[in-house]
A and B are shown apart, each in its own frame.
Chain A
Amino acid sequence: DTGVSQNPRHKITKRGQNVTFRCDPISEHNRLYWYRQTLGQGPEFLTYFQNEAQLEKSRLLSDRFSAERPKGSFSTLEIQRTEQGDSAMYLCASSPKVRLGNEQYFGPGTRLTVT
């Protein structure tokens, strides 16, 4: 399967701990995005990369959140000092160089539960 992959699929952590998620985009996709989704809501944009450059960050991305894409391939999203409000599905998406528009293909997500 050559789709977007995310690891781990599920993460349970205690409040105050740090967590890191990984995203592997579709090969040759130069753009990579992170979104957060809570129950019953649509995904909310967090940040995106074009190659290794982080081009945009949402105000949702507090200073406890950091994302990297060091070699322009996979990306990591780290949350420090987790809070119960961080519990959500964290989705990664990638897109190729522009065709019709900014089409994005999503991975299966990492479900985070903070206890």
Chain B
Amino acid sequence: GESVGLHLPTLSVQEGDNSIINCAYSNSASDYFIWYKQESGKGPQFIIDIRSNMDKRQGQRVTVLLNKTVKHLSLQIAATQPGDSAVYFCAENIYNQGGKLIFGQGTELSVKP
């Protein structure tokens, strides 16, 4: 879909709280999803991925939830730390239709100490 303008959605949390970042994806045929973290001036950093045959996957301090019915993805970060401050992007892929990732609008996470 069309990209939104320069003003990213922002989530501000207190250090130690849990964060939930949401993403609506565009294509019901997408079957693979990735969350990336991007700090200023750096490339996106792989956080966690999930296939469409799963509805939940856990990593270290992070959990991804997938709701295919409403085409919604969320990233939960437990015990948020100042180092988690960054822009977070979800990306979708249709595994059998080539390699490209389609990125959603990012969310800027700001962690207050």
Chain A interface residues toward B at CB < 8 A: 4, 6, 31, 33, 35, 39-45, 48, 50, 55-56, 58, 91, 93, 95, 98, 100-109
Q: Which 4 residue pairs of A and B lie closest in terms of their CB atoms, listed nearest first? A: A42-B103, A101-B32, A40-B6, A106-B43
The smallest beta-carbon distance between B110 and chain A, in angstroms, is 15
The smallest beta-carbon distance between A96 and chain B, in angstroms, is 12
The smallest beta-carbon distance between A103 and chain B, in angstroms, is 6
Determine the residue in chain B with the shortest Cβ distance to A99. Answer: B49
Q: Is B61 an interface residue (CB 8 A)?
A: no
SS class of chain B's interface: helix, strand, loop or mixed? loop
Contact B7 A33 (CB under 8 A): no
- How many A-B pairs have beta carbons closer than 8 Å: the answer is 78
How far apart sit A58 and B89, CA to CA, in the bound complex (Å)? 20
- Chain B residues closer than 8 Å to A103, beta-carbon distance: 34, 46, 49
Contact A106 B44 (CB under 8 A): yes
Q: Given A39-B6, A42-B106, does the pair A102, B46 have CB atoms closer than 8 Å?
A: no
The smallest beta-carbon distance between A40 and chain B, in angstroms, is 4
The smallest beta-carbon distance between B8 and chain A, in angstroms, is 6
Chain B interface residues toward A at CB < 8 A: 3, 5-8, 31-32, 34, 36, 42-46, 49, 51, 89, 91, 93, 95, 98-106
A/B interface sample: 26 pairs, CB < 8 A: A4-B43, A6-B43, A31-B99, A33-B99, A40-B8, A40-B106, A41-B3, A44-B103, A48-B98, A48-B100, A50-B99, A55-B98, A91-B43, A93-B43, A95-B99, A101-B31, A101-B34, A101-B49, A101-B93, A104-B46, A104-B99, A104-B101, A106-B43, A106-B46, A109-B42, A109-B43
Contact B3 A42 (CB under 8 A): yes
Contact A102 B42 (CB under 8 A): no
